Amino acid sequence: MNQHKMRAILEFVRRQGPLPADQFGQVLGTKELLEWFGLAGVLSSEERACVGRELEMMREAQAFVEQLQQAMVS
């Protein structure tokens, strides 16, 4: 995937704030995130796979930071 396009997509996602969560506070899955940000219909399957991997890493990082914040409060 074009690295400039990937960087622009990830910057767009980051500017939206924390990743969206469901009614139980769980961050949406990768497929749902692609749909939420309007990417599912505009990217090729290869591009969706690449962006999906990046979104998954963002999900993991966000969950980790949330755990750290909870540990500091306790």
pLDDT, one tens digit per residue, over 6-36 is 999 999 999 999 999 999 989 999 999 999 9
What confidence category does residue 46 fall into, taking pLDDT thresholds of 50, 70 and 90? very high
Per-residue pLDDT tens for 49-65?
999 999 999 999 999 99
Q: Is the pLDDT of residue 73 over 90?
A: no
When the pLDDT of each residue in the chain is averaged and rounded to a whole number, the result is 95
- Domain count of the chain? 1
User: In terms of residue numbers, what domain contains 32?
Assistant: 3-73
For the cut 90, the answer to whether the pLDDT of residue 74 exceeds it is no
DSSP type of residue 26? P
